[in-house]
Amino acid sequence: MSFDLNQDGKLTPRGKLRKPSAASVLLGELRHELRTPLNAIIGYSELLLEDAEEGSLLRLELDGIYATGQDLLRIVNSTLDAARIDATSAQPKLQNFGETLYQDTYTLLQDILAHTTQAQAMAAADARPDIEKIHQSAEYLASLIQTLFSLSAFDDDLELADIVAQSRNAPTVERFVADRQATSGEFYGQILVVDDNALNRDLLTLRLAQQRYAVVTARNGREALELVAGGAFDLILLDIMMPELDGFETLRRLKENVISRDIPVIMISAVDEIDSVVRCIEMGAEDYLPKPFSLPLLRARVGTCFEKKRLRDHEKAYLRHVARLTEAAAAVEVGTFSETLLAEVAIRNDELGRLARVFQEMAAEIKAREAVLEMKIRERTAEVEAQRNALAASNTRILDSIRYALRIQQAMLPSLDHIASHVPELFTLYRAKDIVSGDFYWFHTFDDELILAVADCTGHGVPGSLMSIVGMNGLNQIVLQNHVTQPAEILKQLHAHIRAVLKQDRHGGQFEFQLDSMDIGVCHVLKGERRLMFAGARRPLFIVADDGQLAVIPGNRLSVGGRQHARERAFEAFEAPLDANATYYLTTDGFADQPDANGEKFGTPRFRDLLTTLAGQPLEMQRTTLEKQFDQLLTFGPQRDDVTVLGFRA
């Protein structure tokens, strides 16, 4: 093969002239621009060395300047070798050159600036102007490289004039990024980078800024704690080895402070500090980032932390809003309800927000009607008949409101048609004592598995119905969102959910909802495997075979929610084969607690005997028999409690 010498002085295969890329042209111009201050550094140091006294401290400083200048020249020539760049087939990325130059020259330039400062102090008056020229050249060289480093991270299409123009008053990398973000729009969150090494801070600042994070830096733990006290941060990247206040002590103080303890922290560590990283994880750190920094790893770990924080914030907001609804119900009861109490919850775009809006409307209607009633009472105090009419109207309004609450509760219960599409043989006997009920039943299915639950909440009427909403929302979160299917684990998490929503972990006995709890039985039916899992909190599972044989699987003797004496509340799981010739019953205690003709409770033993008499009957007939029996009990006295009986075959 024969070659030609092209117009740029490069040999190329004959007939194939290689045109230099725009990036290689820029890098060539930049190399020429960088040599200008380098030539000044090397040239002035040579001149000064000729007059420096042999063995003097000044000469040692000048030798350092000269040698470092030569090292810098080699780095610039090697990194920005236009011939090598053009020889590659890939399009060069300016960011790679900018970052390489910045990392490789940072310490050397700091050394030259330190040498010139020392040399100024010990040089004669006539030598100081030349030393000052070296110092200014080093500063200009540093600003050129820093500007390339910063600009190339955001723009791969640069001109030398842009770099030179911006380098004449080059800001710090952090300030450059802040200015850039101020004009570029929104960012995903704010990160605090804590590292005593300026180069590490600059590299992290620029890499995080490329991912649209706002970055603030601190040189040590003390600065970091001051910044956290005065600002809102979504994540902290914290170095371990630092002066003044190291990463361990800084992390400890962050986690002890109520303002900062929930901010996720990623530790910055070298590979040989892995034992220290483990210690930090035990102290509450989320993760760690090894040095040197890997961009994909940085992106993954920071992104994971932000996602975890988002989910935690969402869960906290949900629990806070459920608690606010409970507080609103109490406020309505004592007449202190205000629309602002639920303003934050009402803007949610989910079922909880819809419930809050309905609650606001109901409370506003009650308040408005009560105001009208009070006015009429004041006007017609002397008219007994008018008072009687006003009282009747008030009762009607209250009943209307409670019936409206009943519509909400019924809407939240699972549709019987939906259940029947998955469990054809099933019935429910569901009777509220006071229009709305503190009992509820719950159902969910996936594949060939079913989860059924029947619960009896503390109280009845409006308070019991609100408690039932807390229970249904808890089951939705645990089963539908967290995908928990084991009955014992469902009860354990439901216990924690109720205590969190009602804030029952507060110390002292004055909190109003400290004793509220729930008795519940949960069945997990695995139709394909023909087995059933059960766990109960003060509620059993009754199993009646077609031949009348009765089996009872008892529940634990503790409710879910309420006072917590032991460290944990564990529930026992029971397993039984799924018998196609048996009927399974989940019930509350309302039926058994209803008085008979003698004023005594119907009782659990008689209720079990009643179930055995239904053995083998179609489930619809069983429901009719139970209703007739309960209606007969009601002839002896008013209904004492909410009643729920759920029977099924699978």
- Residues 376, 382, 386, 390: what is their CA dihedral angle, to the nearest 10 degrees? 50
pTM over 0.75: no
Task: Write out the H or E segment, with its range, that includes residue 553.
Answer: strand 550-553
- Residues 633, 635, 641, 643: what is their CA dihedral angle, to the nearest 10 degrees? 50
Do the Cβ atoms of 645 and 428 come closer than 8 Å? yes
* Chain segment 253-277, per-residue pLDDT in tens: 999 998 888 899 998 887 566 788 7
Cα of first residue to Cα of last residue in the chain, in angstroms, is 84
* Chain segment 202-216, per-residue pLDDT in tens: 888 888 888 888 889
Residue with tokens 């110092």: 135
Q: Does 486 have pLDDT greater than 60?
A: yes
> Which of 411, 468, 463, 479 lies closest to 588, judged by CA?
468
CA angle in degrees (0–180, nearest 5) for 37-38-40? 65
pLDDT > 70: percent of the chain: 90
CA distance 638 to 223: 70
CA distance 551 to 542: 6
- CA–chain centroid gap for 586, Å, is 37
* Chain segment 314-339, per-residue pLDDT in tens: 777 777 777 777 777 777 767 777 77
Q: Does 200 have pLDDT greater than 90?
A: no
Do the Cβ atoms of 461 and 438 come closer than 8 Å? yes
Q: How sure is the predictor about 404, in pLDDT bands with cuts at 50, 70 and 90?
A: confident
Mean pLDDT of 343-371: 75
> Which of 138, 129, 124 lies closest to 64, judged by CA?
138
Cβ atoms < 10 Å from Cβ of 412: 17
pLDDT of residue 396: 74
Do the Cβ atoms of 219 and 243 come closer than 8 Å? no
* Chain segment 147-176, per-residue pLDDT in tens: 888 777 777 777 777 777 777 776 777 777
Q: Which residue would you say has higher pLDDT here, 418 or 361?
A: 418
> Which of 519, 499, 475 lies closest to 566, judged by CA?
499
Q: Does 17 have pLDDT greater than 60?
A: no
Give yes or no for a cis peptide into 424 (omega within 30° of 0): no
pLDDT of residue 5: 43
Mean pLDDT of 2-30: 58
378: helix, coil or strand? helix
Q: How sure is the predictor about 411, in pLDDT bands with cuts at 50, 70 and 90?
A: confident
Do the Cβ atoms of 187 and 215 come closer than 8 Å? no
CATH superfamily of 173-293: Response regulator (3.40.50.2300)
CATH topology for the 413-648 domain:
Phosphatase 2c; domain 1 (3.60.40)
Q: How sure is the predictor about 587, in pLDDT bands with cuts at 50, 70 and 90?
A: very high
Q: Hey, which of 23-27, 501-505, 549-553 has the most confident mean pLDDT?
A: 549-553
580: helix, coil or strand? coil
Residue 628 tokens read as: 């007739």
pLDDT of residue 259: 86
Q: State the amino acid at position 635 in one-letter form.
A: T
Find all residues with CB under 8 Å of 357, minimum gap 6, and list them.
Answer: 346
- How far lies 28's CA from each of 18, 33, 86, 424, 583, in Å? 16, 9, 11, 80, 86
Residue 270 tokens read as: 């070298």
> Which of 193, 57, 72 lies closest to 144, judged by CA?
72
Signed CA dihedral, 379, 385, 388, 393: sign only: negative
CA distance 578 to 36: 88
Residue with tokens 């979504």: 234
Q: State the amino acid at position 379 in one-letter form.
A: E
Q: Which of 63-67, 85-89, 501-505 has the lowest mean pLDDT?
A: 85-89
pLDDT of residue 604: 96
CA distance 153 to 156: 7
Q: Which stretches does DSSP call E strand in 384-497?
A: 426-431, 439-446, 449-457
Q: Does 4 have pLDDT greater than 50?
A: no
Do the Cβ atoms of 372 and 382 come closer than 8 Å? no
Q: Which residue would you say has higher pLDDT here, 233 or 309?
A: 233
Do the Cβ atoms of 474 and 505 come closer than 8 Å? no
**CA-derived radius of gyration, the chain:** 38
Phi/psi of residue 176, each to 5°? -60, -45
Find all residues with CB under 8 Å of 410, minimum gap 6, and list them.
Answer: none
CA distance 631 to 64: 103
Q: What is the DSSP letter of 339?
A: G
Q: Does 29 have pLDDT greater than 50?
A: yes
